[in-house]
Amino acid sequence: MNTTTLINHIAISPHMSVRGRLGRFVIVFLFLGLALFGDAATRSVFWTTLADAYIAVTVFVAATLLLFYSIEHVFKVDTAALLERYQQYQVPLAALLGALPGCGGAIMVMTQYSIGRIGFGAVVAVLTSTMGDAAFLLLATKPTIGLIIIAISVTVGTVSGYLVQAIHSPNFLRVTQGARFKDMGPPFAFGRLNWPWIAVLAPGLAFGVLSAFQVDIDELFAIPGLATTVGATGAVLSVALWFINPNKANSTLSVTDKGSVASIWDKTTADTCFVTVWVILAFLLFELTVHWTGWDLKDVFGTAGVFMPLFGLLIGFLPGCGPQVLTTSLYLQGIIPLSAQLANAISNDGDALFPALAVAPKAAIVATLYTAIPALIVAYSAFFFFGV
């Protein structure tokens, strides 16, 4: 597949909106502008940031995804059948499905709701517990905090689901006509295109582990600029593969649906590259703001004080995983507090909100608004009682 074919593939793909295509071109041209036309200091910040994002985040996200999808591939479980069989446990099962990194579990629950197999309480439970792709980022970089937040989300989602179940009937706001997800097209197969990315991943992961233990990679190997070169190369390949992937079908279908080792690598590549682009944007937002203005974003956000959890909540209302990954990146850099991250984790629905709006728009909107209540309670409890 040559360059012209790839660009045409993105430009005319029926599975990507005009806004989606335009957004990808804008981001890529932004990166090219910073890399080629900025002043020397800006270019240096750009390439260093790309390398840092790849070595500090991307390699660990990829490793987490590869492990998760491999387990999913080996232990094939029909979760839709479980939801239908154990109806009395639908709410906690839905909360657990939502807690799975990515959006597949939440989308599955919305599908079952739209065809009448589960109730509205399960919808609230799954949308409350899901973090979308941001969960991968959090688990890869701060696994203990990630597991704590997931546990809180599952607990809050289960309680919220049961409360809503006590208030509303199972058929509350259900679409009566045969709603179904629009065809998102087949999962994108990278084929040989992701082999360079996989090749860089191995040394990148080794460098990531060494960096985590505060080892100076350049000094260890006596090669100046080695870490930056490997990290920047991996980041560029990640952006390129994200650019040519026409849809997020890889994130909405389970690995067991595709049933091959190659599909595990395709899905790992697609989701890791998506997360990487948003992490790079978050890192660049921080580094370039400091470089151009001299501001300290920690001090700027620090002035928000009591409004920080509300900030996390409002970002959580935005559909898609991109804004949530960016918010989590800000938390990992110490720019926003844990309470804001908690508010975002509980209130956000990730990419699951898009198909949810397609199959049951009223239910999706009301359920999303319901998630704001526990998000505010948990976040402000953490803020006022624990000072985080």
Which is nearest to 276 in space by CA: 241, 251, 312, 227?
Answer: 241
**Sign for the pseudo-dihedral over CA of 112, 113, 115, 118:** positive
Which is nearest to 226 in space by CA: 236, 217, 234?
Answer: 217
Residue 21: what pLDDT?
76
| pLDDT 10s digits, 41-51 | 999 999 999 99
Distance CA 257, CA 219 (A): 46
DSSP 307: G
Which is nearest to 265 in space by CA: 197, 202, 325?
Answer: 197
Here the tokens at position 280 are: 């790079």
- pLDDT of 293 strictly over 50: yes
Distance CA 51, CA 95 (A): 36
Strand partners, 102: 132
| pLDDT 10s digits, 262-283 | 788 888 898 889 888 988 988 8
Residue 344: what pLDDT?
95
* Inter-residue contact 133 to 324 (CB < 8 Å): yes
Question: 364: pLDDT confidence band, cut at 50, 70 and 90?
Answer: confident
Is 259 or 28 the better-scoring residue by pLDDT? 28
Residue 73: what pLDDT?
77
What Cα–Cα distance (Å) separates residue 34 from each residue in 28, 41, 81? Answer: 10, 10, 50
Residue 11: what pLDDT?
45
Query: In the Cβ-directed half-sphere of 99, how many Cα atoms lie within 13 Å?
Result: 20
How deeply is 35 buried, as exposed, middle or buried, from its count of CB atoms within 10 A (0-12, 13-18, 19+)? middle
Strand positions, DSSP E, 154-301: none
- pLDDT of 181 strictly over 60: no
Residue 6: what pLDDT?
44
Residue 17: what pLDDT?
58
Question: 74: pLDDT confidence band, cut at 50, 70 and 90?
Answer: confident
Distance CA 236, CA 201 (A): 12
Domain ranges of the chain: 22-388
Distance CA 27, CA 10 (A): 14
What Cα–Cα distance (Å) separates residue 37 from each residue in 32, 46, 293? Answer: 8, 11, 19
Residue 123: what pLDDT?
92
Distance of CA 226 to the CA centre of its chain: 29
Residue 384: what pLDDT?
93
Mean pLDDT score, 18-47? 86
**How many C-beta atoms lie closer than 10 Å to residue 352's C-beta?**
29
Mean pLDDT score, 129-133? 89
Share of the chain above pLDDT 70, in %: 84
Question: 187: pLDDT confidence band, cut at 50, 70 and 90?
Answer: low
How deeply is 50 buried, as exposed, middle or buried, from its count of CB atoms within 10 A (0-12, 13-18, 19+)? buried
Q: Is 360 left (phi over 0), alpha (psi -120 to 50) or beta?
A: beta
| pLDDT 10s digits, 369-387 | 999 999 999 999 999 998 8
Q: Out of 184-198, 244-258, 295-309, which region has the weakest mean confidence (pLDDT)? A: 244-258
- pLDDT of 340 strictly over 60: yes
Residues constituting the chain: 388
Residue 288: what pLDDT?
87
Q: Out of 34-48, 50-64, 250-264, 313-327, which region has the weakest mean confidence (pLDDT)? A: 250-264
H-assigned helices in 115-225: 120-129, 134-141, 143-167, 195-212, 217-221
- The torsion angle over the Cα atoms of residues 270, 102, 134 and 124, rounded to 10 degrees, is 150
- Map residue 76 onto helix, strand or coil: coil
What is the average pLDDT value for the chain, to the nearest integer?
A: 83
Mean pLDDT score, 112-138? 88
| pLDDT 10s digits, 194-250 | 899 999 999 999 999 898 788 899 999 999 999 999 999 999 999 999 998 865 544
- Tell me which range, 221-225, 232-236, 346-350, 353-357, is most confidently predicted by mean pLDDT: 232-236
Here the tokens at position 77 are: 């479980």
pTM of the model: 0.77
Distance CA 243, CA 169 (A): 44
Q: Out of 47-61, 104-118, 256-270, 327-341, which region has the weakest mean confidence (pLDDT)? A: 256-270
Question: 4: pLDDT confidence band, cut at 50, 70 and 90?
Answer: very low
